[in-house]
């Protein structure tokens, strides 16, 4: 067994954002040959050891590009409210792909096992100075779980 690289990152669970999606608008086909969407965020919660709060409904959303090969290229931006009232901006990029069957199930809002698809995001935050400033100084990786009508993204801080 090979030794772990000395600079290999360590991941620590920071929080999970669970959200419902609040509607979509589609540009299909777009002029570049793919499908573009605007999918607005609905209500949601933030729960974890490092942050708790809620999503501000319709404060933004995801503007994914669905490539001709079926890969969904995410570009999400929305606003969170921590339990202490702090407003935090989220910007996230990532990908979702899977078998044709798994992608069809997700499109129909049917349950899919986590090993049937890949859904990962890289996220950065803009938070006020002070208590939540730590969020602006770290890289976060999210492992997303597709749920009927929404998703749960489990965020890990990269140490």
How many structural domains is the chain composed of? 1
The pLDDT tens digits of the residues spanning 38-97 come to 999 999 999 999 999 999 999 999 999 999 898 999 999 999 999 999 999 999 999 999
| pLDDT number for residue 30 | 79
Distance CA 44, CA 88 (A): 14
Determine the number of helices (DSSP H) and then strands (DSSP E) in the chain.
Answer: 1, 10
* SS3 state at 36: strand
Say which CATH number the domain at 66 has.
2.40.160.20
Residue 136 near residue 123 (C-beta atoms within 8 A): no
In a domain? residue 66: yes
How buried is residue 59: exposed, middle or buried, by Cβ count under 10 Å (0-12/13-18/19+)? middle
Residue 1 has pLDDT above 80, yes or no: no
Give the domain range for residue 103: 11-158
């Amino acid at each position: 067994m090979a030794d772990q690289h000395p600079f290999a990152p360590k991941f620590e669970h920071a929080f999970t954002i669970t959200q419902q999606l609040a509607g979509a608008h589609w540009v299909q086909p777009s002029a570049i040959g793919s499908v573009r969407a605007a999918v607005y965020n609905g209500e949601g919660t933030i729960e974890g050891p490092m942050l708790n709060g809620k999503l501000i409904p319709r404060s933004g959303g995801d503007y994914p590009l669905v490539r001709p090969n079926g890969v969904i290229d995410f570009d999400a931006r929305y606003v969170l409210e921590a339990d202490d009232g702090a407003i935090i901006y989220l910007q996230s990029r990532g990908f979702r792909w899977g078998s044709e069957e798994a992608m069809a199930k997700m499109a129909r809002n049917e349950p899919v096992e986590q090993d049937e698809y890949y859904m990962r995001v890289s996220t950065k935050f803009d938070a006020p100075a002070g208590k939540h400033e730590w969020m602006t100084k770290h890289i976060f990786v999210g492992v997303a779980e597709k749920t009927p009508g929404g998703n749960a993204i489990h965020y890990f801080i990269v140490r």
